[in-house]
Amino acid sequence: DTEVTQTPKHLVMGMTNKKSLKCEQHMGHRAMYWYKQKAKKPPELMFVYSYEKLSINESVPSRFSPECPNSSLLNLHLHALQPEDSALYLCASSQDMEGSMRGYTFGSGTRLTVV
Amino acid sequence: GESVGLHLPTLSVQEGDNSIINCAYSNSASDYFIWYKQESGKGPQFIIDIRSNMDKRQGQRVTVLLNKTVKHLSLQIAATQPGDSAVYFCAEIFAGNNRKLIWGLGTSLAVNP
């Protein structure tokens, strides 16, 4: 299995809702990443987990809460989002942070719309 | 076809022509560079990479050129096909930044049949 699987593919949520994005990989990768991507822009790094511990938080607002239950799963919990948070949310994984070169594998993303 | 200037967001080429996508990178200490292809509705997909101790690397129909003197990276696609239509991003990595990807702005390639 050489894929990163993200669910759901599309999500529409209200500003008072709580929802979660899920990401799964079975490549044995020990670093996992959340990125946010606006239309026609490059991805922006949000969080990095290394060996199931949060390693990097790029000053992301607390309405985004990451969780890494085990080495294969990564979640992003969403609460009280704003319309400007609407974007494509990408999950990626790599062998580890030091090996994060060719080994970056991206999922297809969750298209989030906040209404 | 070639993207002229380093901030042109769109490149349009005829099917069968060669494409050249350019990228300026920011840090002279970057030691690794990657080109990604992102098709509509998908995540970025690795195309080709190059280390800073090289100036050229070839893959299948793609070539990456690195000019460290002017901090310039280019991606050449031979015999461009409709399936090559996508947004192309360059990215750089250097050890002093937790080896995080630093992304270029992206170029949208449109291939006309």
- Per-residue pLDDT band for A97 (boundaries 50, 70, 90) equals confident
Measured CA to CA, the distance from residue B40 to residue B49 in angstroms comes to 22
Measured CA to CA, the distance from residue A23 to residue B45 in angstroms comes to 17
Q: What are the φ/ψ torsions at residue B30 (nearest 5 degrees)?
A: -65, 135
| B32, B100, B106 member nearest A42 (Cβ) | B106
* Per-residue confidence (pLDDT) for residue A100, from 0 to 100: 56
Chain B: closest CA distance from residue A39 (Å): 10
The answer to whether A80 contacts chain B (CB < 8 Å) is: no
Residues of B in contact with A45 (CB under 8 A): 100-101
CB–CB contact B100 A56 (8 Å): yes
Residue A73 vs residues A23, A69, A97, A98, B35: alpha-carbon distances, Å: 6, 6, 17, 20, 27
The answer to whether B83 contacts chain A (CB < 8 Å) is: no
The answer to whether A97 contacts chain B (CB < 8 Å) is: yes
pLDDT higher than threshold 70 for residue A102? no
The answer to whether B1 contacts chain A (CB < 8 Å) is: no
Q: What are the φ/ψ torsions at residue A92 (nearest 5 degrees)?
A: -140, 160
**Lookup result for tokens 């099917």:** B15
pLDDT > 90: what percent of chain B?
A: 73
Compute chain A's Rg from CA coordinates.
Answer: 13
B16-70 pLDDT per residue, tens: 999 999 999 988 889 899 999 999 989 999 999 999 999 999 999 999 999 999 9
CB–CB contact A102 B46 (8 Å): yes
Tokens of B42: 């998908």
Mean pLDDT for all residues in chain B? 90
Measured CA to CA, the distance from residue A24 to residue A12 in angstroms comes to 21
Measured CA to CA, the distance from residue B36 to residue A14 in angstroms comes to 33
- In B, minimum Cα distance to A33 occurs at B100
pLDDT > 70: what percent of chain A?
A: 95
Q: Which residues contact B20 (CB under 8 A, 6 or more apart)?
A: B1, B2, B3, B74, B75, B76, B77
Average pLDDT score over residue span A34-44? 94
